[in-house]
Amino acid sequence: MCLAIPGKIISINDNEDPIFKTSRVSFGGIVKEVSLAYVPDAQVGEYVIVHVGFALNKVDEQEALKVFEYLEEMGEMEELES
């Protein structure tokens, strides 16, 4: 199953064209490159919901941490590494 999951923005690669703006996002310690085309106003330190490499929306930190707890309990965090 493919779900959107929260991740914390740790750096942003600014591009003049917001369509090509990307960031490095940490998903519980696993870092991936993510497009910020849909949330160009997102900032370092904020959490975003990510699906197939695109940040779709910003999310509250408490909510993101709660999702990480659920994923840990279900043993699904390893799936992020692939």
- All structural domains of the chain, each given as residue ranges with its CATH number in brackets, are 5-77 (2.30.30.140)
- Asked if pLDDT for residue 81 goes beyond 60, the answer is no
List, in order, residues 6 or more apart from 53 with CB less than 8 Å away. Answer: 32, 33, 34, 35
Strand partners, 48: 7, 58
What is the reported pTM?
0.82
- The secondary structure of residue 67, as a DSSP letter, is H
Single-letter residue type at 80: L
pLDDT, position 78: 62
Tens of pLDDT along 31-53?
A: 999 999 999 999 999 999 999 99
- Residue 29's pLDDT is 85
Would strands 47-51 and 22-27 be described as parallel, antiparallel, or unpaired? unpaired
Helix (H) or strand (E) holding 73: helix 61-74
Under DSSP, is residue 65 helix (H, G, I), strand (E, B) or coil? helix
